[in-house]
Amino acid sequence: MIQENFIKLYENSFRENWDLPCYTDYGENRSFTYGEVAKNIAELHLLFKHCSLRRGDKIAIIGKNNTYWCIAYMATITYGAIVVPILQDFNPNDVHHIINHSESIFLFTSDSIWDTLEENKMPHLRGVFSLTDNRCLHQRDGECIQQFKNRVDDIMFDTYPSGFTKEDIKYTNLSNDKVMLLNYTSGTTGFSKGVMLTGNNLAGNVTFGIRTKLLVKGDRVLSFLPLAHAYGCAFDFLTATAVGTHVTLLGKIPSPKILLKAFEEVKPSLIITVPLVIEKIYKNTIQPLINKKGMRWALNIPLLDNRIYSQIRKKLIDALGGRFKEVIIGGAAMNPEVEEFFYKIKFPFTIGYGMTECGPLISYSPWNEFIPTSSGKILDIMEARLAKTKEDDKLGEIQVRGENVMIGYYKNQEATEEAFTDDGWLRTGDLGTIDENGNIYIRGRSKTMILSSSGQNIFPEEIENKLNNLPFIVESLIIERNKKLVALVYADYEALDSLGLNSSESLKAIMDENLKNLNNSVANYEKVSQIQLYPTEFEKTPKRSIKRYLYDSIAEE
């Protein structure tokens, strides 16, 4: 059990960092110090008390990353209620279901999302609050929330006649074994389950961030991954708030153009990202540079290549603000070509591994200890083992146990039992290997692995990575059809149009060449029989993983 009490981490931090900047909305004139955040939390606690909220009541939050999102989350856990963060990409029916399934009684939401929801489909909700300007959007008949909101200044004055001070910060005494968070997953298999995370699970992640000095007092971060997702939440927000870091919340879709401008302005001390974001920056900023004729020639000359790599590294570091210790990449598989290039130019990046069910961290190594193609080393508070496959004695499903592992899925005993082995290890569903130093190497998902007719393991993700590096391919999906591999491809139609290559003859010639080059780079049993063009981008989870289950029927055509 982690010694540090999760809630006390924040009680101490708000006192110790009272005058430091805490949360800022990027591009907007709204910023809070730690003291001002603590005061806002105190106001919400008085509201919760006024409405007779009890320990363990659920409070849902849905909306873009912003200061009020963070304040609502902090107020919920420090009161002793259970927070239910919902990804804003979920459709209204999913949101209704999650709010009802979790039995949430309060909802904090952005105005635009509230407009898409129907209050009569969420009968348990007693009150709804705006993440845009903090007002009450809806109260159930008989509630007096609006009345309280109108008098909040007077109520604060009556409660704290000498003004709210750091000595007034006193949060609930709640042991780490209590559930504090319900996180509804957005898996690639189509089912949303409520992961129950305790204070201990959350403290395991946060204290790891504190011990390894991922962030320290006075650091700056730019929060652009959705805070409702475990990865961005654990480090850009929870660890940051526990140590006195200044969090700037992007609150916009993180396109490369918007991100690079924000990095330049914020100059973050640590960058937490997913592969898609960093790969787009690589494609837009670095690839055009290294594909120039003269540059390709120069990179083949010893001594010159090191000098050029050094310049490219500097250009990339400057583009990301120039002040960061490292870039941590997680949430999905990294494109091997991009990873290899970053390692070659000695760019300070590392790849970690985790899942919502571990809040999220399972393995991590600092960039200067990171081994290429791995996903870092198993944390000292976690254990991992392989459940070997019959076909390969080195490969197996990665199973874990330790401080970060959830206690189960909310109101879903069947799914909980399926998730754990008989001896209590969590099945990750990922296939991989573990070396003698505890480094994890992921090969693919056990559910997506294809067994060839000759008994070989085929990992679609590995073939897709190679295919996605070929010309005019945005993304791809490898499926099995009649015992043969077929590639569904979403082409770069914009680039094809700009070059006048959009005729069916041109497209066929380009894809035939791509198929030939792909098959020259894979094993015989991995060869793809045909490329089939797909008209649109593939549907994805909020974590930007393709929802593979939607395309199973195409495989049977």
Task: Looking at the structure, tell me whether residues 457 and 550 fall in a common domain.
Answer: yes
- Is residue 506 located within the same domain as residue 431? no
Q: Mind listing the pLDDT tens digit for each residue in 323-340?
A: 999 999 998 778 888 899
Domain assignment of residue 499, given as a range: 450-555
Domain stops at, among 411, 445, 479: 445
Alpha-carbon 68 to chain mean position? 20
Q: Do residues 170 and 27 both lie within one domain?
A: yes
Q: Has residue 85 been placed in a domain?
A: yes
Of 181, 185, 184, the residue nearest 197 (C-alpha): 181
pLDDT tens-place string over residues 234-288: 999 999 999 999 999 999 988 888 999 999 999 999 999 988 888 888 888 787 7
| CATH number where 416 lies | 3.40.50.12780
- If asked whether residues 191 and 109 sit together in one domain, one would say yes
Looking at the fold, whether 297 and 429 belong to one and the same domain comes out as yes
Residue 242 lies in a domain: no
Q: Is residue 226 part of a domain?
A: no
For residues 79 and 194, membership in a common domain is answered with: yes
First-to-last C-alpha distance (Å) of the chain:
52
- Are residues 419 and 295 part of one domain? yes
Tens digits of residue pLDDT in 88-134: 888 898 899 999 999 999 999 999 999 999 999 999 999 999 999 99
Residue 246, strand partner residues: 220
Shared domain check, 143 and 95: yes
Do 279 and 409 sit in the same domain of this protein?
A: yes
**Is residue 78 one of the residues assigned to a domain?**
yes
Residue where a domain stops, chosen among 203, 221, 246: 203
Same domain, 315 and 458: no
Q: In the predicted model, is pLDDT for residue 291 greater than 80?
A: no
Give the pLDDT band (50/70/90) at residue 186. low
Kindly state whether residue 222 falls inside one of the protein's structural domains.
no
Residue 479: which CATH number? 3.30.300.30
For residue 228, give Cα distances in angstroms to 62, 225, 234, 245, 359: 8, 9, 10, 19, 11
Number of domains forming the structure of the chain: 3
Tokens at residue 339, please? 């990873």
- 318 and 414 together in one domain: yes
Q: What is the mean pLDDT of residues 484-501?
A: 89
Note whether residue 127 is domain-resident.
yes
What predicted TM-score, i.e. pTM, was given to this entire model? 0.85
Please tell me whether residues 154 and 290 are part of one structural domain. Answer: no
pLDDT band at 188 (very low <50, low <70, confident <90, very high): very low
- Determine the pLDDT at residue 392: 60
Instruction: Report if residue 532 sits inside a domain.
Output: yes
Name the more confident of 238 and 493. Answer: 238
Distance from CA of residue 360 to its chain's centroid? Answer: 9
Of 17-21, 147-151, 153-157, 276-280, give the lowest mean pLDDT range: 276-280
Domain boundary among 428, 445, 462: 445
Helical H runs in 110-255? 111-114, 145-150, 152-159, 199-211, 230-232, 240-243
Mean pLDDT of the chain: 91
Residues 6+ apart with CB under 8 A from 49: none
User: Is residue 353 one of the residues assigned to a domain?
Assistant: yes
The CA-atom distances, in angstroms, between 79 and each of 49, 74, 172, 433, 457 are 9, 8, 6, 42, 50
Any idea what the Cα angle at residue 361 is, between residues 355 and 362, rounded to 5°? 90
Instruction: Give which of 238, 240, 247, 194 is closest to 214, Cα–Cα.
Output: 240
